[in-house]
């Protein structure tokens, strides 16, 4: 046997033992025997480096150092999930689904594990990269760290597709978490707060050898890609198991919301016997074609719902109410509490939302309050124990002046929050607007974080986001914790942001109610900042999905002289304030004023590509057929009820070929 064959056989044998131990939980050799074989392979690889393999089992021990984690855009966006807390929520969701898809609907139920989300990319059966969820659009490349997790297969087996992404959670089992904390306490170190945060923090450790020491596991639940040859979610779980992934066995295929609730009720009790933390059940429409029909909102898939187990609640003392100022001037009251353990973390603060909420619950300083942590990341106060209220208790009088600049607060009619009107003289507002401008979904300026922005504002180096483009390396080097290299990275990051496309620049400006989705719609319609600034309220309301509230906010923003000057300065500095020529070349008004419903399976383009073609050519995509529908683009296996409704309303059908011909393809 040749040396190369010896090495390859050892690698394959170790992969199988790894799979038996960490995925199947059924080892066939002792730890000692495994270590002997691993050392034999390490010795051979060291002696014959020409047979190097980036996915060798020997690399799981780690050792690579990553100082700066590269940001990578997800090929397929990682969406959040909508939450539900009752049977009524689920029934409403089911009603919406049945209006949009044909035929019987089955549901796959899976436990919602509480860990750090990860996306793994495989090509030709080998792990190519591992990226954190990030903001769902882009995340950090943590491949070296993920390779140390034994339940992540570095090479697959079976009939896997040539390329796909698989999503899951990196979790830290209770047993391993307890052991880690025992070791930390014995070493005189602070114990970790909870498994979830520890798992998440592990992914960003610079030394992968340190990650390898942690008993992390990777539980997979979603395969994403093109032409995968999979028809249902339940089938995808079975396929993933067969390819070598650790997929929890507790998933269940159900035929009704009643069966879903049986699953929920069972695991609400049994979850306490699981080796991992779980905080709910994820329910997905099983049929992948139906999933495609349902599509996504701007934030979440319509075909999935997270049913959250009842939130944990604790009682503690409210010491003081303080007030925070946001970038829009919105004032948020915050409860400062006697620290208390809740859902695995120590809670010291909770949101009080607004003056109405404080008045409604009659919350006062000194009260014993009930704190809950449900679907929200930030805990909230849900009630007061009036029997324990001190006799000298004084009703809460909401702040009348800004806690930062002292300006009298304002509250517009019909709005819940108070606002500080001093937007150009209130430091948190100035810093907040710039922090929004540089954020990942906006200008994504590398080398510039929130703390540095606050420092730049305090030092008087910047007063607006336009000032960023006048900064020099010499000005920022004297700042605290700023070395020459980091100053250089900051200036280079600002320069590179001039390439960011117009839709993200518009979002970055911080116009109230103009989020990512609204910014895209406005840019697609107006194409330049000048056209948008010239638009009337009536013009804006006629744009697809732009309501009066958004229109008023846009008009109000551009009417301010200082905002006009900011736009002029950004233009001079070279920031993108119109659609690029390449993007513009792909857009036409061919389908202007027409509404399309897309249904079925397509062959020349994917469903998402087809929807984009409609929008790029000025048309509107709708999820359901109505009298306003202009055309139904019908693919193979289209649902009979959609066809029946289209015929009844006299809506013209277009085949895939006919549609592509219509737009000149």
Catalytic residue among 37, 67, 112, 620: 112
193, HSE (Cβ side, Cα atoms, 13 Å): 12
Domains in the chain, start-ordered, CATH in brackets? 3-61 (1.10.287.610), 83-308 (3.30.470.30), 427-499 (1.10.150.20), 502-584 (1.10.150.20), 595-662 (3.40.50.10190)
Please give the pLDDT value at position 63: 64
In order of 127, 152, 200, the CA distances from 207 in angstroms are: 20, 18, 15
Residue matched to tokens 């336009």: 466
Please give the pLDDT value at position 574: 96
What is the pairing mode between strands 652-654 and 126-132?
unpaired
CA distance 234 to 231: 9
Q: Is 37 labeled as catalytic in the residue annotation?
A: no
What is the DSSP secondary-structure string of 127-194? EEEEEE-TTSSEEEB-HHHHTT-TTS-SB--SS--SEEEEEEEEE--HHHHHHHHHHHHHTTPPPPS-
Burial class of residue 518, CB neighbours in 10 A (0-12, 13-18, 19+): buried
CA distance 163 to 171: 25
Most distant CA pair in the chain, distance? 88
Task: Tell me the CA end-to-end span of the chain in Å, nearest whole number.
Answer: 57
CA distance 620 to 600: 18
Please give the pLDDT value at position 112: 94
> From start to end of 274-393, where are the E strands?
278-285, 304-308, 312-325, 331-342, 345-351, 368-373, 380-384
Please give the pLDDT value at position 337: 96
Q: Which residues of the chain have pLDDT under 50?
A: none
Burial class of residue 443, CB neighbours in 10 A (0-12, 13-18, 19+): buried
Please give the pLDDT value at position 31: 74
Shortest CA distance to 268 belongs to which of 109, 409, 408, 381? 109
Model pTM score: 0.74
């Amino acid at each position: 046997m040749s040396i190369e064959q010896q090495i390859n056989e050892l690698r394959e044998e170790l992969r199988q033992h790894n799979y038996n131990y960490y995925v199947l939980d059924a080892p066939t050799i002792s730890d000692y025997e495994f270590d002997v074989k691993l050392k034999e392979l390490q010795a051979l690889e060291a002696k014959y480096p020409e047979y190097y393999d980036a996915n060798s089992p020997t690399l799981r021990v780690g050792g690579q150092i990553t100082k700066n984690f590269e940001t990578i855009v997800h090929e397929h966006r990682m969406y959040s999930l909508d939450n539900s807390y009752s049977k009524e929520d689920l029934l409403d969701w089911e009603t919406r689904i049945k209006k949009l898809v044909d035929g019987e609907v089955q549901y796959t139920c899976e436990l919602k594990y509480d860990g750090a989300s990860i996306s793994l990319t495989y090509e030709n059966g080998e792990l190519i990269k591992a990226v954190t969820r990030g903001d769902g659009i882009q995340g950090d490349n943590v491949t070296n760290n993920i390779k140390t997790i034994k339940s992540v297969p570095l090479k697959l087996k079976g009939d896997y597709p040539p390329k796909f992404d698989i999503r899951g959670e990196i979790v830290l089992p209770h047993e391993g978490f307890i052991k880690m904390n025992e070791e930390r306490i014995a070493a005189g170190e602070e114990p970790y707060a909870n498994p979830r945060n520890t798992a998440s923090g592990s992914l960003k450790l610079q030394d992968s050898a340190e990650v390898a020491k942690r008993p992390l596991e990777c539980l997979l639940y979603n395969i994403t890609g093109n032409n995968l040859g999979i028809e249902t979610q339940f089938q995808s779980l079975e396929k993933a198991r067969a390819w070598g992934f650790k997929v929890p066995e507790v998933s269940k295929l159900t035929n009704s919301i009643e069966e879903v609730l049986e699953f929920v009720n069972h695991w609400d009790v049994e979850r306490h016997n699981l080796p991992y933390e779980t905080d709910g059940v994820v329910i997905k429409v099983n049929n992948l074609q139906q999933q495609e029909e349902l599509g996504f909102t701007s934030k979440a898939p319509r075909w999935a719902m997270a049913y959250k187990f009842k939130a944990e609640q604790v009682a503690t003392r409210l010491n003081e109410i303080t007030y925070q100022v946001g970038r829009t001037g919105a004032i948020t009251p915050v409860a400062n509490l006697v620290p208390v353990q809740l859902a695995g973390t120590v809670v010291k603060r909770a949101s009080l939302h607004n003056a109405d909420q404080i008045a409604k619950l009659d919350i006062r300083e000194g009260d014993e309050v009930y704190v809950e942590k449900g679907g929200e990341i930030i805990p909230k106060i849900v009630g007061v124990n009036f029997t324990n209220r001190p006799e000298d208790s004084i009703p809460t009088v909401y702040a009348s002046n800004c806690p930062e600049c002292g300006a009298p607060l304002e509250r517009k009619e019909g709005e819940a929050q108070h606002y500080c009107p001093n937007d150009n003289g209130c430091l948190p507002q100035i810093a907040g607007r710039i922090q929004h401008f540089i954020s990942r979904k906006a200008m994504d300026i590398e080398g510039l974080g929130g703390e540095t922005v606050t420092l730049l504002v305090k030092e008087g180096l910047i007063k607006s986001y336009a000032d960023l483009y006048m900064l020099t390396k010499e000005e920022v080097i004297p700042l605290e914790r700023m070395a020459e290299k980091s100053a250089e990275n900051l200036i280079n990051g600002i320069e590179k942001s001039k390439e960011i496309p117009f839709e993200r620049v518009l979002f970055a400006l911080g116009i109230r109610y103009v989020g990512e989705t609204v910014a895209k719609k406005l840019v697609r319609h107006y194409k330049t900042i000048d056209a948008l600034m010239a638009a009337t309220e009536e013009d804006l309301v006629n744009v697809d999905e732009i309501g009066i509230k958004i229109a008023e906010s846009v008009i109000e923003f551009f009417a301010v002289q200082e905002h006009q000057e900011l736009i002029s300065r950004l233009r001079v500095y070279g920031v993108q304030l119109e659609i690029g020529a390449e993007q513009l070349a792909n857009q036409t008004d061919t389908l202007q004023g027409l509404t399309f419903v897309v249904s079925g399976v397509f062959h020349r383009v994917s469903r998402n590509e087809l929807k984009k073609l409609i929008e790029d050519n000025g048309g509107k995509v709708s999820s359901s057929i109505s009298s306003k529908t202009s055309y139904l683009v019908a693919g193979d296996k289209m649902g009979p009820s959609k066809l029946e409704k289209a015929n009844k309303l006299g809506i013209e059908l277009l085949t895939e070929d006919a549609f592509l011909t219509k737009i000149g393809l």
